[in-house]
Amino acid sequence: MSKLRFRVVEKAFHKKPVEVIPPSERPSEYFGKYVFNREKMFKYLPSKVYAKLTDVIDNGAALDRSIADEVAEGMKKWAIEMGVTHYTHWFQPLTEGTAEKHDAFVEHDGKGGMLEEFSGKLLVQQEADGSSFPNGGVRNTFEARGYSAWDPSSPVFIVDDTLCIPTVFIAYTGESLDYKAPLLKSIQAVTKSALDVVHYFDPSVKKVIAYLGWEQEYFLVDEGLYAARPDLLLTGRTLMGHEASKNQQLEDHYFGAIPPRVAAFMKDLEIQALELGIPVKTRHNEVAPNQFELAPIYEECNLAVDHNMLIMSLMRKVARNHGFRVLLHEKPFKGINGSGKHNNWSLGTDNGILLMGPGKTPEENLRFITFIVNTLMAVYHHNGLLKASIMSATNAHRLGAHEAPPAIISSFLGTQLSKVLDHLEESTNSDLIALGDKQSMRLDIPQIPELLIDNTDRNRTSPFAFTGNRFEFRAPGSEANCASAMIALNTAVAEQLIQFKKDVDTLIEDGEPKISAIIEVVRRYIKECKPIRFDGNGYSKEWEEEAKRRGLDCETSCPLIFDNYLKPDTIRMFESTGVMNRKELEARNEVKWEMYTKKIQIEARVLGDLVMNHVVPVAIEYQTKLIDNAYKMKSLFDADEAQTLSAENIAIIKQIAEHTGYIKEHVDAMVEARKVANKIEGQREKAIAYHDTIAPMLEQIRYHIDKLELIVDDQMWTLPKYRELLFVR
């Protein structure tokens, strides 16, 4: 082992868990300590202001600017009591992660001194000097102005000495430049259209809520080992590294005991998450060594998205306090499961009913089937878009690999629900029986509840699986903003529910009773969306063939998958629901293609450097040793004997020459290919070139590096190996 590598491995190996001293209170007492939640609003705001603000939060009432000053005053008072000195508009640009710009509360008091100032104006809106955030050309440099505006539906919170205000980020011309603005619009669209449909069943419902419960997967790596791997440091993944002799074959890590150093990290993270009002609940090991998962209790979709963004930055911070680095990249290690983010999504009502869950009466179950079938229709019509919504250069490594999810979006319902849908599809109107003046039906639906509670009926290969009272969208990447997938899904379901209402109303206008009108449309939809239902193995070759026949989107090239955002059906969907317009969609795609190109470009550069600075020199040094040995053999033995004795070494000398030769040649070729690609004007075409020509070269070069890693003397190899990155903790 090289000296450096030996030092970092030894050090990592002997690290002790950091002692975490839990707060003296119980979680129920410190939950939300750093959040300006209702309890604090009540305490710090005049009662009239409190009432107005909660009306904005609960019922989406318009924000009355006249209360802004008093809200800001209350927030400031609380924050200063908590030792806060700064505030920031916290927003979600089209990169990964969040952005913030901190300002101190201080202002001149006009008498030569300072005072703490935070006005309603500063709370509500700010100009963000964000000309360097990706915007796809929505703002050229002349009008590089965008502003951030307070989102009152997500509470402000404190991180360190800063009051963080969740905001949307919008161009002065009105286009959204972030994830939050379209997310809020998509939530509004889906909850409004769902409410209209719920009213067929229960006119007393006042409000529908979209829910999201994310599950976050991640890897932990010791920070010393991490620092000794420039590829991890700069790209978030290993661009080289031969598989360890043992990795996940034994599946002994999954649900095994959590290692003590990791357990300390988790405990610390959970305490801090709870203090920030994130209701974390579940933690466990994942399939791969050093891979873990964290999940909260589900929440309203917008809040859940904010909380996921917040937890990712919290994880990064807490990991460092424990001598770890957290890897959120979707595929940090080749040959080992990647990390995803399962988005558990559902709709519920203000009176506590989950619309994706079965009920007790036939009518409740018809409502349940209605929402399931409409969701399936939405996923069916926009399966390509949903795939685009989770696509990125980094998540591309996961898709289509032999792990969830496959590169084709389909939906798994489980045998029970499938049976119910099949039964409904085959039923005729004579199956409907009149119960007094109310139409009801004989659908055998009442037995659903017990059957669905049995969750064993799971298909881990399905990207969009029904799981009892929700759908689990399993394709989003671990590093991604959940909003991207949620915007597409909410909007698709919104559009579909609007269509459903139209179809049902048309039948009712023609004199059809309500219930049979609903059943008739549902039955028609069940037939139409059948191609999206698939209960088999999503990884199989046969499924690929079958999916093509069914007309599902089977594209695997990331830049081409993004085209789904600009298809006429997609644009119509986003425009008709008021979520985004064509200009915004076009701008966003420019950003997506550009980001794709940049990611591959960086990987190519890093690989080139690593190869020429680490791999090739070490390989040649070792080769020189072998050559030296072969020469010395000749001075000890006669020519023939020396030849025989050195045969193996000479074979290795040749192998090294071949591999290093290949590598050098292809690193040069990769540089040339980049030069060609960089000259391409359009972002889309450039991304395609990077995908088609440069990305495959990374893999080809890597193959030879990994071979060298196996040949070269371990004592000389400078970079920590997979077995160390994955098993030392």
| Alpha-carbon span 560 to 545, nearest angstrom | 20
Given ligand ADP, Mg ion, none, residue 346, with its beta carbon under 5 to 8 Å by kind, binds: ligand ADP
Determine contact, residues 164/92, Cβ cutoff 8 Å: no
User: From residue 355, how far is each of 240, 346, 652 by CA, in Å?
Assistant: 47, 7, 65
Verify binding: residue 346, ligand ADP, rule CB under 6 A. yes
Determine contact, residues 106/113, Cβ cutoff 8 Å: no
Beta bridge partners of residue 99, listed in sequence order: 91
| Alpha-carbon span 451 to 346, nearest angstrom | 19
Q: Between residues 341 and 614, which has the closer beta carbon with respect to Mg ion? A: 341
Q: Between residues 342 and 729, which has the closer beta carbon with respect to Mg ion? A: 342
Verify binding: residue 463, ligand ADP, rule CB under 6 A. no
Among 155, 296, 359, 559, binds ligand ADP (CB under 6 A): 296
Determine contact, residues 120/71, Cβ cutoff 8 Å: yes
Q: H helices within 539-678, ranges in order?
A: 541-550, 558-561, 568-576, 582-610, 616-636, 639-645, 647-678
Verify binding: residue 470, Mg ion, rule CB under 5 A. no
Task: Kindly report the number of other CB atoms within 10 A of residue 256's CB atom.
Answer: 12
| Alpha-carbon span 307 to 296, nearest angstrom | 9
Whether cis (ω within 30° of 0) applies to the bond prior to 405 is yes
- With H, G, I as helix, E, B as strand and everything else as coil, classify residue 171: strand
CB 481 → ligand ADP: shortest distance, Å? Answer: 17
Closest CA to 666 of 685, 690, 691, 693: 693
Given Mg ion, ligand ADP, none, residue 298, with its beta carbon under 5 to 8 Å by kind, binds: ligand ADP
| Alpha-carbon span 327 to 233, nearest angstrom | 10
Region from 181-189, 192-200, 343-351, 588-596 binding ligand ADP, contact rule CB under 6 A: 343-351
Taking the mean position of all CA atoms in its chain, how far away is CA 695? 22
CB 220 → Mg ion: shortest distance, Å? Answer: 20
Verify binding: residue 241, ligand ADP, rule CB under 6 A. no
Verify binding: residue 215, ligand ADP, rule CB under 6 A. yes
Angle at 704 between CA 698 and CA 707, to 5 degrees: 135
| Alpha-carbon span 99 to 97, nearest angstrom | 7
Region from 182-190, 394-402, 425-433, 468-476 binding ligand ADP, contact rule CB under 6 A: 468-476
Cβ contacts of 491 within 8 Å, gap of 6 or more? 186, 189, 190, 573, 574, 577, 579
Query: Between residue 178 and residue 207, which ones bind ligand ADP under the rule CB under 6 A?
Result: none
Verify binding: residue 344, ligand ADP, rule CB under 6 A. yes
Given ligand ADP, Mg ion, none, residue 405, with its beta carbon under 5 to 8 Å by kind, binds: none
Verify binding: residue 659, Mg ion, rule CB under 5 A. no
Q: Between residues 176 and 291, which has the closer beta carbon with respect to Mg ion? A: 291
Q: Is the dihedral of CA 507, 510, 514, 516 positive or negative?
A: negative
Cβ contacts of 109 within 8 Å, gap of 6 or more? 115
Query: Between residue 265 and residue 304, which ones bind Mg ion under the rule CB under 5 A?
Result: none
Taking the mean position of all CA atoms in its chain, how far away is CA 413? 23
Q: SS in 3 state form for 440-484? A: EECCCHHHHHHHHHCCCCCCCCCCEEECCCCEEECCCECCCCHHH
Verify binding: residue 342, Mg ion, rule CB under 5 A. yes
Q: How many residues line the site for ligand ADP (CB under 6 A)?
A: 15
Region from 62-70, 241-249, 464-472, 487-495 binding ligand ADP, contact rule CB under 6 A: 464-472
Q: Between residues 338 and 384, which has the closer beta carbon with respect to ligand ADP? A: 338
Verify binding: residue 341, Mg ion, rule CB under 5 A. no
- Amino acid letter, 610: L
Cβ contacts of 26 within 8 Å, gap of 6 or more? none
Region from 130-138, 217-225, 233-241, 469-477 binding ligand ADP, contact rule CB under 6 A: 469-477
Verify binding: residue 226, ligand ADP, rule CB under 6 A. no
Region from 334-342, 397-405, 410-418, 540-548 binding Mg ion, contact rule CB under 5 A: 334-342
CB 210 → ligand ADP: shortest distance, Å? Answer: 9
Q: Is the dihedral of CA 517, 523, 527, 532 positive or negative?
A: positive
Query: 648 exposed, middle or buried (CB, 10 Å; 0-12, 13-18, 19+)?
Result: exposed
CB 264 → ligand ADP: shortest distance, Å? Answer: 22
Among 297, 612, 647, 657, binds ligand ADP (CB under 6 A): 297
Closest CA to 658 of 624, 619, 609, 603: 619
CB 301 → ligand ADP: shortest distance, Å? Answer: 9
Q: Between residues 322 and 342, which has the closer beta carbon with respect to Mg ion? A: 342
Among 295, 305, 327, 558, binds ligand ADP (CB under 6 A): 295
Verify binding: residue 180, Mg ion, rule CB under 5 A. no
Verify binding: residue 707, Mg ion, rule CB under 5 A. no
Among 131, 282, 313, 715, binds ligand ADP (CB under 6 A): 282
CB 318 → ligand ADP: shortest distance, Å? Answer: 20
Given ligand ADP, Mg ion, none, residue 354, with its beta carbon under 5 to 8 Å by kind, binds: ligand ADP
Region from 65-73, 134-142, 292-300, 695-703 binding ligand ADP, contact rule CB under 6 A: 292-300
Task: Kindly report the number of other CB atoms within 10 A of residue 60's CB atom.
Answer: 16
Region from 176-184, 210-218, 243-251, 354-362 binding Mg ion, contact rule CB under 5 A: 210-218
Cβ contacts of 130 within 8 Å, gap of 6 or more? 93, 99, 146, 169, 177
Q: Between residues 187 and 295, which has the closer beta carbon with respect to ligand ADP? A: 295
Query: 140 exposed, middle or buried (CB, 10 Å; 0-12, 13-18, 19+)?
Result: exposed
C-beta nearest to ligand ADP: residue: 213
| Alpha-carbon span 49 to 14, nearest angstrom | 56
Q: Between residues 215 and 584, which has the closer beta carbon with respect to Mg ion? A: 215
Question: At which residue do the structure tokens 């505006």 appear?
Answer: 149
Q: Between residues 293 and 709, which has the closer beta carbon with respect to Mg ion? A: 293
Among 89, 307, 334, 470, binds ligand ADP (CB under 6 A): 470
Verify binding: residue 478, ligand ADP, rule CB under 6 A. no
Determine contact, residues 27/275, Cβ cutoff 8 Å: no
Given ligand ADP, Mg ion, none, residue 470, with its beta carbon under 5 to 8 Å by kind, binds: ligand ADP
Instruction: Name the strand (E) or helix (H) holding 443.
Output: none
| Alpha-carbon span 296 to 308, nearest angstrom | 9
Q: Between residues 175 and 472, which has the closer beta carbon with respect to ligand ADP? A: 472
Among 298, 324, 525, 596, binds ligand ADP (CB under 6 A): 298
Query: Between residue 620 and residue 639, which ones bind ligand ADP under the rule CB under 6 A?
Result: none
Query: Between residue 214 and residue 243, which ones bind Mg ion under the rule CB under 5 A?
Result: 215
Verify binding: residue 469, ligand ADP, rule CB under 6 A. yes
Given ligand ADP, Mg ion, none, residue 213, with its beta carbon under 5 to 8 Å by kind, binds: ligand ADP
Which residue ranges make up the site for ligand ADP (CB under 6 A)? 211, 213, 215, 282, 295-298, 344-346, 354, 469-470, 472
Which residue ranges make up the site for Mg ion (CB under 5 A)? 215, 342
